[in-house]
Amino acid sequence: MAVVELTTRDLEDIRTARELLATGEAQRLREASNLTRAEVAAFAESSIDAVALWESGQRCPRTDPALRLGRLYRRLSAEVTTS
């Protein structure tokens, strides 16, 4: 099993994704950006059902999808706040 080194920014993105999902803010960001769950699932390399479970607070994404989601949510937050 390969060991992957995460940067501070990676860890912040993971934390942010999990916080946004836990508070419902991730779904608000997705909807404000006119993205579908399918598009988020493709970005996270996961399933639509997984995204639905994450957004409902029933599950928490593992590290890899959380990292990808954190990067996505960071970009979406910047776009929503600048528009």
The C-alpha atoms of residue 34 and residue 14 are separated, in whole angstroms, by 22
In 3D, which of 23, 20, 4 has the Cα closest to residue 64? 4
Give the pLDDT confidence of 9-50 residue by residue, as tens digits: 999 999 999 999 999 999 999 999 999 999 999 999 999 999
Residues whose CB is less than 8 angstroms from the CB of residue 24 and which lie 6 or more positions away in sequence, other chains included: 55, 57
Confidence of residue 1 (pLDDT cuts 50, 70, 90): low
Q: pTM for the complete prediction?
A: 0.89
